[in-house]
Amino acid sequence: MLESRELTKKFGAKTAVDNVSLAMEPGHIYAMLGPNGSGKTTWMKMAAGLVKPTSGEVFFNGNPVGIESRKDVAYMSTEPYFYDWMTIESAGKYYNDFFEDFSMETYLRMLSDMDLNEKDKIRTLSSGMVAKMKIALTLARDAKVYMLDEPFNGIDLLARDEIRAAILKAATPEKLLLLSSHLVEEMEAIADRAVFIRKGVLIEVRDLEEMREVDGVSMADRYRSIFGHGEVQA
């Protein structure tokens, strides 16, 4: 469904994503894991069509990502990206205007569940409230792929619970969810597959259940073994 082939992105002399070939299938929640600067965000932005690769390509359902894929791929950036004048409600109207799969009803229900007031200006919200609003905005789309970059960044435990619940509710057999986070334990409770990426290089993609059964290690253990000592262990 979502696939990158020999994908590379360079920023000047720095290689953010290095020759990454990766295929992801619907019906799974993928956790993209790696330390800061490992290329997770850049990979997602290329998959969302926001950043142009230096070489290689990203495909959605066999076609290069572009205008058509944006109809089915919902991307949530970790940074706030709303216009200064927007309220929570007008951000919903904006999505409603541009995305056919967006449901204003679902959005308003999620806002209510998350205790957010739709009349509030986004620029006056705390980072936790913005994080919840972004989740509601993204998950109110009936997209085929959801890419959530650092959805748990800078938010308290209760808000995390709400976001986790919203993410799990969106996960169905037809959908693909890709999440990136530094909070490995948090991700372990949600994801069923893990993509380990370091310094722009894809280390491995693992089925978490299989990893627990075969290797007898958790995702957090594997994370430590890959990133903890600078050496990748088999």
Among 97, 105, 213, 231, binds other proteins (CB under 8 A): 97
What's the rounded Cα separation, in Å, for the pair 226 and 34? 9
Question: Is residue 85 a contact residue for other proteins (CB under 8 A)?
Answer: yes
Q: Let me know: does 38 contact 200? Beta carbons within 8 Å.
A: yes
Instruction: Give the other-Cβ count within 10 Å of 21's Cβ.
Output: 11
Q: Residue 79, interface with other proteins (CB under 8 A)?
A: yes
Strand partners, 10: 15
Number of residues that bind other proteins (CB under 8 A): 24
Nearest to 57 by CA among 49, 39, 111: 49
**164 forms part of the interface with other proteins (CB under 8 A):** no
94 binds other proteins (CB under 8 A): yes
Site for other proteins in 57-76 (CB under 8 A): 67-68, 70-71, 75
- Binding-residue pattern over the window 98 to 117 for other proteins, x denoting contact by CB under 8 A: xx------------------
Site membership for other proteins, residue 13 (CB under 8 A): no
Binder among 50, 108, 183, 217 for other proteins (CB under 8 A)? 50
- In this chain, which stretch among 18-26, 79-87, 110-118, 170-178 interacts with other proteins, using CB under 8 A? 79-87
Count the Cβ atoms, other than its own, within 10 Å of residue 212.
Answer: 16
How distant, in Å, are the alpha carbons of 16, 96, 97, 119, 201 from that of 90? Answer: 35, 9, 10, 9, 39
| Beta strand extents in 162-200 (DSSP E only) | 176-180, 193-198
49 interacts with other proteins by CB under 8 A: yes
Q: Which residue, 11 or 37, has its beta carbon nearer to other proteins?
A: 11
Binding of other proteins at residue 122 (CB under 8 A)?
no
Minimum distance, C-beta of residue 2 to other proteins, in the bound complex (Å):
16
Q: Figure out which of the listed residues 27, 35, 83, 168 binds other proteins, where binding follows CB under 8 A.
A: 83
Cα–Cα dist 17/188, whole Å: 24
CA 116, 119, 121, 124 dihedral sign is: negative
The verdict on 51 binding other proteins (CB under 8 A) reads: yes
* 159 CB-near residues (< 8 Å, 6+ apart): 114, 128, 131, 132
Can you give the binding site for other proteins, defined by CB under 8 A? 11-12, 45, 48-52, 67-68, 70-71, 75, 77, 79-83, 85, 94, 97-99
